[in-house]
Amino acid sequence: MKRLALPAALLLGSLSLMQCSGNKTDAEGTATTTASTDTGDFKVVSEQFADLRMLRYQVPGFEALPAKQKELLYYLYEAGLSGRDIIYDQNYKHNLRVRRTLEALYPANQQNLNGGDKADEAKKFDVYAKRVWFSNGIHHHYSTRKMLPDCSPDYFAGLVRAADAKTLPLQPNETVDQFLAAITPIIFDPKVAAKQVNQEAGADLLKTSATNFYEGVSQAEAEAFYAKRIDKNDQQPISYGLNSKLVKNSAGQLEERVWSAQGMYGPAIKKIIFWLEKALAVTETAEQKEALSKLISYYKTGSLKTWDEYNIAWVKDTQSLVDVVNGFIEVYDDPLGYRASYESVVSFKDLEATKRIKAIGDQAQWFEDNSTILPQHKKKNVVGITAKVITTVIEAGDAAPATPIGINLPNATWIRAKHGSKSVNLGNIVEAYDLANASSGMLDEFALTDAERTRARQYGALAGKLHTDMHEVIGHASGQINPGVGTTKETLKSYASAIEEGRADLVALYYLPDPKLQEIGVTKSADVAKAEYDGYLRGGLMTQLTRLQPGENVEEAHMRNRQMVAKWVYEKGKKDNVVEMVKQNGKTYVRINDYDKLRGLFGQLLKELQRVTSEGDYTAAKNLIETYGVQVDQALHKEVLERYKKLNIAPYQGFIQPRLVPTMNDGKVTDVKLEYPTDFAKQMLEYGQKYSLLPNYN
């Protein structure tokens, strides 16, 4: 699934958002502490700490569902959460031990918050614990840089020594002092596992990344391992490496440790299977039952051929109201793009809201035929795009607490071409972001003119939704790779994700002003496109820099994509002054002078990115990203950070998840109630107790 990152609108001050993954759109909306966040008695904003703000979302329509569908959702909910330990371990091999340490120490630390000489240190520890929970580990969920506690090692050691040793995640025969000696540098030393995912050109991306997808393996060894196994002429290749860890055995030979019921992560996967098998008994359609049966078989065997069979069956299940994403899906956290992170999204269809996104999906062939990409790179027959808006019930693994807002799956190119794909907009998640960001100070601070601000407030939310829809529905589904070229992870390597996200963004940007959108009834004004263009350029050239620390360059794929697109059109349009950076009252702003020519530039870049993708042109991909997507103007960055700091905005947001509570009668589920927790830490501690299914080390 491709993950979409925030639509420019929300990211940069207007009122919408977006992100994309495998084919997944994720939200990176800017937060404001002054927004009106009430919907009746429901409070959207829960709390804010560090660079994070915790939100809540509602699940409208759940109570009206038939009991059988509620029961199905409950089983899928439990299956999703049962894999929670996996994402921690995937992100870093010591994460589970760190998390369990924080869980053991948290109650005593809360007592220290009540006053006395330890209150300041206790507050710092509290924030660190929440940051680790938010990021599913000790590395920042977005930058992937190691997060260091502000509390002192001495305070931490005091908490450990005061704790009941039975509550600490000690290894066999390990003393508390030995435990402290081992865990302290893992948490406090900035040089230990400094980066979860390193994408710096020229570095050994595996040796410099802390992600737990490889062990004792260099980048060159891993690439050679798969080069021998992958047949580029195979028209239906499996997703090599998707569900395994690559290690060296005792003989020094490379081998894959497969994630399955009988392999690595077995205890958690067996529990996922347990709940999926319960779900089989209450499926809505034969197609849904077939898909879940294939998913269970895949988890039992670890067979990637069965994974493909599951994805094909899942795509064919278009009539069920309830749907689920569950598995090893996105490869963003593997520097080489092979191994996927665990995630789950449980949902049901929003029938009314689906009409907008379906209207776009129904015209997929028209959009492909009229694209700016070369004729030989166009699909002659765009098949099976199922587009819908969903109401999210629960997200887990890599999808929570930071969540996507759009999803397009499956990721396998040949399955998408032959069998189609599902493209969804997470409607209630988008609604929660819009409510939380309804009066963001970003717009007033960084938009140059009243016209921009007016357009953003009037059309920003719709512009963001349309961008998300088109990015997912027709963006990721467009174009084709030339025969014998191989997949993008093989050809474009570490630049594949940024190029793919840019390609999908550009499809949306190119078509936003097209009269076709008015013809099919999804928009009524050309100002919708202008609102998105304003926000996208403002974001790619300036305001997304709020996510970086001084001196840093851009490494995250979605940020590279947005900066690459924005800087490319800025540079290529200089001759005609299409876009300019202007100074007013000592502040820098982005001004678009010619929206029509800007659209033309988007079309030109789309043509080139599709060529790069279709032909597997690694050199061109590297040049585009490194030239336009990586380097940061440090003087501009400093200015942006200074202006942003005054707004008291948290740049990242995520969610406290709803809770499903079954009503039982004689051991059977007769109904399911929906609850909305308000305390993030309490939910994390509850999850730690209920879903702690794996050992400290796997």
For position 10, what pLDDT does the model report?
Answer: 39
Q: Which fold has domain 273-653?
A: Fructose-1,6-Bisphosphatase; Chain A, domain 1 (3.30.540)
For position 440, what pLDDT does the model report?
Answer: 62
Q: At 263, is the pLDDT very low, low, confident or very high (cuts 50, 70, 90)? A: very high
For position 592, what pLDDT does the model report?
Answer: 98
pLDDT in tens, 470-506: 998 899 989 999 999 988 989 999 999 999 999 999 9
pLDDT in tens, 166-198: 999 999 999 999 999 999 999 999 999 999 999
For position 41, what pLDDT does the model report?
Answer: 79
pLDDT in tens, 135-152: 999 999 999 999 999 999
Measure CA 366 to chain center: 29
DSSP code for 166: G
Mean pLDDT of the region 27-42: 44
Place of tokens 């929660």: 432
Burial category of 322 from C-beta neighbours within 10 Å (exposed 0-12, middle 13-18, buried 19 and up) = buried
pLDDT in tens, 534-589: 999 999 999 999 989 899 999 889 999 999 999 999 999 999 999 999 999 999 99
CB atoms within 10 A of CB 586: 6
Q: What percent of the chain has pLDDT over 70?
A: 94
- For the cut 70, the answer to whether the pLDDT of residue 35 exceeds it is no
Strands 254-258 and 244-248: antiparallel
Mean pLDDT of the chain: 92
Q: At 439, is the pLDDT very low, low, confident or very high (cuts 50, 70, 90)? A: low
Q: At 385, is the pLDDT very low, low, confident or very high (cuts 50, 70, 90)? A: confident
Q: Strand order in 52-56's β-sheet?
A: 45-49, 52-56, 652-656
For position 39, what pLDDT does the model report?
Answer: 53
Judge contact between 510 and 599, C-beta under 8 A: yes
Of residues 379, 364, 517, 357, the one with CA closest to residue 423: 357
Query: Residue ranges of the domains in the chain?
Result: 93-195, 273-653
For position 654, what pLDDT does the model report?
Answer: 97
Q: d(Cα 551, Cα 558) in Å, to the nearest integer?
A: 19
Determine which of 40-44, 223-227, 508-512, 561-565 has the lowest per-residue pLDDT on average: 40-44
Is 228 in a helix, a strand, or coil? helix
For position 621, what pLDDT does the model report?
Answer: 98
Q: At 37, is the pLDDT very low, low, confident or very high (cuts 50, 70, 90)? A: very low
Determine which of 22-26, 238-242, 677-681 has the lowest per-residue pLDDT on average: 22-26
Judge contact between 502 and 567, C-beta under 8 A: no
- Using only C-alpha atoms, the chain has a radius of gyration, in whole angstroms, of 24
Quick one: which H or E segment has residue 392? strand 385-397
For position 26, what pLDDT does the model report?
Answer: 45
For position 387, what pLDDT does the model report?
Answer: 86
Token readout for 536 is: 């996208």
Q: At 33, is the pLDDT very low, low, confident or very high (cuts 50, 70, 90)? A: very low
For position 125, what pLDDT does the model report?
Answer: 98
Q: What percent of the chain has pLDDT over 90?
A: 83
Beta bridge partners of 323: 347
- For the cut 80, the answer to whether the pLDDT of residue 14 exceeds it is no
- For the cut 60, the answer to whether the pLDDT of residue 66 exceeds it is yes
For position 116, what pLDDT does the model report?
Answer: 83
Mean pLDDT of the region 233-242: 95
Q: d(Cα 26, Cα 28) in Å, to the nearest integer?
A: 7
Token readout for 531 is: 């609102």
Q: At 649, is the pLDDT very low, low, confident or very high (cuts 50, 70, 90)? A: confident
pLDDT in tens, 310-348: 999 999 999 999 999 999 999 999 999 999 999 999 999
DSSP code for 544: G
pLDDT in tens, 102-137: 999 999 999 999 888 999 999 999 999 999 999 999
Secondary structure (DSSP) of 418-430: HH-EEEEEEHHHH
Token readout for 329 is: 């899906």
Mean pLDDT of the region 262-267: 98
Q: d(Cα 310, Cα 298) in Å, to the nearest integer?
A: 8
For position 410, what pLDDT does the model report?
Answer: 95
Judge contact between 626 and 201, C-beta under 8 A: yes
Q: At 30, is the pLDDT very low, low, confident or very high (cuts 50, 70, 90)? A: very low
Judge contact between 406 and 471, C-beta under 8 A: yes
Q: What is the dihedral of CA 173, 178, 184, 190, to 10 degrees?
A: -100
Q: At 34, is the pLDDT very low, low, confident or very high (cuts 50, 70, 90)? A: very low
- For the cut 50, the answer to whether the pLDDT of residue 17 exceeds it is no
